[in-house]
Structure 1
């Protein structure tokens, strides 16, 4: 093992990098582990690692993995890594090999599908299966070219049940799979002071939270800074790991005077005006003039303090310990929190001209990365943007007219146009920016959607600007934007579009595990471990949408998908009562002339939550409502696309289906399935029997096939579906079911079957995976009108003329 890790160790200085040197790990399990780390180095890539021969065989995948078998992703083989590198997450300091942020993007187990995986690797073609938190199914690594030291491979998804096209897993699932640590009662002695700490970041929210105990601090207009203090040294780092020690000599001297050993301090550097407010412009001027003596370091947290690891202690205790050590008003100051009602404090802060507030849960632990236990409340709209170009100057202005701006749609993803800014520059800024931008000019646009501007000078996306603005257009373009300054502390590829989210709801303590009168047992059990969504979270989701989903469920026979061990493990279907439900909550009926057991249905809000309490994740309904379940009141045309069919083709198929149904003088409604297809739903008056409704839906399917034989198929066999949309009319059979509107899906991503307005269906945006247990409530809160508001009042029947139009004699 030592020889295998020799190259790894030669390339790193372990006195500077926080990466593990590599220690021998005892084999705890037979399953082989795999890890994928998103690595924001010089170029963003994904490090793919497979455990084999006691090390992690490693490849750098520039575009990351893809579930689409048509995507052949380049994978450059790199040096073997130690096993304990798999759980590494942090920032590799600048000037070190691979400098940049490393995020644990996925992990799990892998199973070789070759008899001898080592021999398969040597021959250059390895087959294997992944069972992880994000990736699943069978994959291939095949060698193509390259030198012996750095051979090139291709990482390809095999065409199995997990394959899917039109889904960018790296964009849809950018989050870390690293678990947040639990609170501890006492601090632990640190084995060694980390070389760097990735700071905790706050999430922008619309309003102060209404639940939980929050501490509020002033949101300063400065640079985030972390200080590493040892017995003989004090060093300062930006939040991305840049070493700014040499740029802040006066602050380094003040930190050394504290005589705090083995300590990490987290705070913000700023320059104060005479009225006590921070000034971003004055901070930048202080750097430019070499006047760092004016810079003050406000410290608000201490992940490590005097040799103790405080990260698992509650925030309130960490701040109390810090306050005892930082007294006075020198260059290093303690950031006090504010007392009073959060809304009133925010109002006063805004009236005083402050930037806003930072809210922190009093009992929260310190977690690297962006969280909702730290939140931002802003008094004005402002954000960081990447400078992508300039327009020509007009009038008496020199240099440039306006800066063109962009944001990334995902970390290291595509750069999209966000607007331009032409105010906020003085003569000094115009001269400085003109000079710096001239040095990074490029011939073409770095944007995927460049604006139609004349005489644009494009630049490499290397500078980040802080911009204030009044509002955005519907297309997300800035209005009344004003330049505030440059952000030297933020890597351009980390600049994402920041939209305010709803304030977090703090989960109550154990006694609060009751949802609508139903006690949720094992509330902490994770239904989607990769997303951190618990059983209690799912119950609260259904509680929040009860008013919308109950009209779709009430008195309809149900088929449940139950997942007692979570949606990422084995689930099973259930139609009959066998779950020990509370009497009077979940009800049953028995079909006439049937030897089957009693079928399940519900009528109440509490019964809905009872289903979740008993392990139900998905809720599927028959097309009929009791007590007369022999006459359907709904037709569901399930449009199930082939894996290789593009989203625009599915949109065309759905619009064609709508056209045919509306030509019959029937109104229809649209929803996603939460999976890869779409449902077109037709409410009808319950007059026809099951066989007649099934036949009517079959005729619609056959009509579609005749109209567009290259697009549609009505054949169940998968071989007949290649490149087509399967029109599944069999959903309209007796005892068959379709997923209910607003039901969650027991699939990766926690998708929701979401009702849509027809004008939302466009070829430009794939909506199938957009709405989830986590994001659907935000959509519902923002909707001005329920797309299915008229569903319940739509009264229509299948007429003789309709049968005739479909060719029924």
Structure 2
């Protein structure tokens, strides 16, 4: 996908064939192109199925921008007194400084229902940083920016721009031998710097920069056909979890903030990208073979009629998936939120918004111990 590609305004709206988990054999390193299979990063999904919208598990109650700011006010933000702009431009809003990053135009409205400002977005990312950073820091990023808000054009970006606090540039060589510049963040300041530049969504590679050719996070996105009942999607989640359980692979659940759920598997960084991607594909194929009327492993829309696409494609080198705790660039300020397995039937895919995510920070972390799992592909 070309750099800085503009996006239109977002719409309203049998396992025995797989190797078991265990000690992973030594693998040769894969070398796919850095931008391959970036399906999540044309990162809009179609509108949420009506059934999900009517689900009893409505989004956790949205709050005003003021209450969002209050919930995250202890996150290192400093409000300085209002001043007068130079050149007779009139009164300038007070400065907002978070983690040493000055937020320009903090009162600019980014989401309208509920009202969420640019300052609120920056405060949000500072507030969730303790939980979010382990899944984001030192992973190559693709981001979605909406500098004028989600009702205006947004764009996708995967190459670095001007230097910013906490944002690090890294060269990555593709299979063709060409080297391109990519970027990652390494601190809370990096999250806030991206928010200052209008970033709403963070999408990450499945590997860290220090082990770039050995991925350690496998993601399956259950992407339903239009109009599918939410209970069908939830059954798909449990079917997939069951197969992973049979393979002795512990998995974690999060909302997509769109129309499906994501199942995430932490792994030791030992397999090559080819082995990693091939394993994910085989899991999806087993789902399709076992329940051909429910699931497909084929990315083509025409093959998806009345079924759920088990999206394994994001597990290739250069592909990305939306990060835990990331906002989604669509109406409602939804969040891709880690949830407990016990919450599957009470939290809809769009069931957590920014205010709900902040409220959840006071509860136990449902993904506690994620990176302590010592499991691999055998």
Tell me whether the two structures share a fold, i.e. TM-score over 0.5. yes
User: What is the aligned partner in structure 2 of residue 689 from structure 1?
Assistant: 272
Residue 556 of structure 1: SS of its match in structure 2? coil
Report the CA distance between 1:739 and its aligned residue: 0.2
Residue 775 of structure 1: SS of its match in structure 2? helix
User: What is the aligned partner in structure 1 of residue 141 from structure 2?
Assistant: 558
Query: Which ranges in structure 2 are unaligned for 5 or more consecutive residues?
Result: 1-7, 14-44, 82-92
Structure with more relative contact order (C-alpha pairs < 8 Å, separation 6 or more): 2
Determine if contact 1:134/1:530 at 8 Å carries over to the other structure: no
Determine if contact 2:71/2:358 at 8 Å carries over to the other structure: no
Report the CA distance between 1:550 and its aligned residue: 0.5
Report the CA distance between 1:707 and its aligned residue: 1.2
User: What is the aligned partner in structure 1 of residue 219 from structure 2?
Assistant: 636
User: What is the aligned partner in structure 2 of residue 165 from structure 1?
Assistant: 50
Q: When you count strand as a share of all residues, which structure comes out higher?
A: 1
Determine if contact 1:636/1:680 at 8 Å carries over to the other structure: yes
User: What is the aligned partner in structure 1 of residue 351 from structure 2?
Assistant: 770
Matched, 1:718 2:301: yes
User: What is the aligned partner in structure 1 of residue 377 from structure 2?
Assistant: 798
How has the CA–CA distance of structure 1 residues 161 and 669 changed in structure 2, closer, same or farther, with 3 Å as cutoff?
closer
Residue 228 of structure 2: SS of its match in structure 1? coil
Determine if contact 1:647/1:766 at 8 Å carries over to the other structure: no
How has the CA–CA distance of structure 1 residues 534 and 589 changed in structure 2, closer, same or farther, with 3 Å as cutoff?
same
User: What is the aligned partner in structure 2 of residue 646 from structure 1?
Assistant: 229
In structure 1, how many angstroms separate the alpha carbons of the residues matched to 2:315 and 2:11? 34
Determine if contact 1:133/1:529 at 8 Å carries over to the other structure: no
Aligned counterpart for 2:168 among listed residues 583, 587, 601: 587
In structure 2, how many angstroms separate the alpha carbons of the residues matched to 1:645 and 1:521? 42
In structure 1, how many angstroms separate the alpha carbons of the residues matched to 2:71 and 2:216? 39
Residue 573 of structure 1: SS of its match in structure 2? strand
Q: Deviations over 1:594-638 (max 9, x none)?
A: 435311111111111111111111000000011221111111111
TM-score, normalising length: structure 1 = 0.37
Residue 697 of structure 1: SS of its match in structure 2? helix
Report the CA distance between 1:132 and its aligned residue: 10
Matched, 1:728 2:304: no
Q: When you count helix as a share of all residues, which structure comes out higher?
A: 2
Query: Which ranges in structure 1 are unaligned for 5 or more consecutive residues?
Result: 1-130, 137-159, 177-202, 204-370, 376-500, 800-809
Determine if contact 1:661/1:668 at 8 Å carries over to the other structure: yes
In structure 2, how many angstroms separate the alpha carbons of the residues matched to 1:660 and 1:646? 22
Matched, 1:574 2:196: no
In structure 2, how many angstroms separate the alpha carbons of the residues matched to 1:687 and 1:618? 28
How has the CA–CA distance of structure 1 residues 550 and 133 changed in structure 2, closer, same or farther, with 3 Å as cutoff?
closer
Aligned counterpart for 1:676 among listed residues 259, 273, 285: 259
Determine if contact 1:754/1:771 at 8 Å carries over to the other structure: yes
Residue 774 of structure 1: SS of its match in structure 2? helix
In structure 1, how many angstroms separate the alpha carbons of the residues matched to 2:173 and 2:141? 17
Report the CA distance between 1:758 and its aligned residue: 0.9
Q: May I ask how many residue pairs the two structures share in their alignment?
A: 321
Determine if contact 2:9/2:150 at 8 Å carries over to the other structure: no
In structure 2, how many angstroms separate the alpha carbons of the residues matched to 1:504 and 1:683? 30
Determine if contact 1:581/1:610 at 8 Å carries over to the other structure: no
In structure 2, how many angstroms separate the alpha carbons of the residues matched to 1:725 and 1:592? 34
Matched, 1:532 2:115: yes
In structure 2, how many angstroms separate the alpha carbons of the residues matched to 1:726 and 1:623? 20
User: What is the aligned partner in structure 2 of residue 707 from structure 1?
Assistant: 290
Report the CA distance between 1:675 and its aligned residue: 0.8
Determine if contact 1:641/1:726 at 8 Å carries over to the other structure: yes
In structure 2, how many angstroms separate the alpha carbons of the residues matched to 1:504 and 1:678? 26
Determine if contact 1:674/1:753 at 8 Å carries over to the other structure: yes
In structure 1, how many angstroms separate the alpha carbons of the residues matched to 2:331 and 2:205? 25
Residue 744 of structure 1: SS of its match in structure 2? coil
Determine if contact 2:12/2:331 at 8 Å carries over to the other structure: no
Determine if contact 2:103/2:119 at 8 Å carries over to the other structure: yes
Determine if contact 1:559/1:619 at 8 Å carries over to the other structure: yes
Q: Deviations over 1:416-435 (max 9, x none)?
A: xxxxxxxxxxxxxxxxxxxx
Q: Deviations over 1:191-240 (max 9, x none)?
A: xxxxxxxxxxxx9xxxxxxxxxxxxxxxxxxxxxxxxxxxxxxxxxxxxx
Report the CA distance between 1:167 and its aligned residue: 3.9
TM-score, normalising length: structure 2 = 0.78
In structure 1, how many angstroms separate the alpha carbons of the residues matched to 2:146 and 2:228? 30
Residue 581 of structure 1: SS of its match in structure 2? coil
RMSD: 3.0
Determine if contact 1:581/1:614 at 8 Å carries over to the other structure: no
Determine if contact 1:567/1:617 at 8 Å carries over to the other structure: no
How has the CA–CA distance of structure 1 residues 774 and 693 changed in structure 2, closer, same or farther, with 3 Å as cutoff?
same
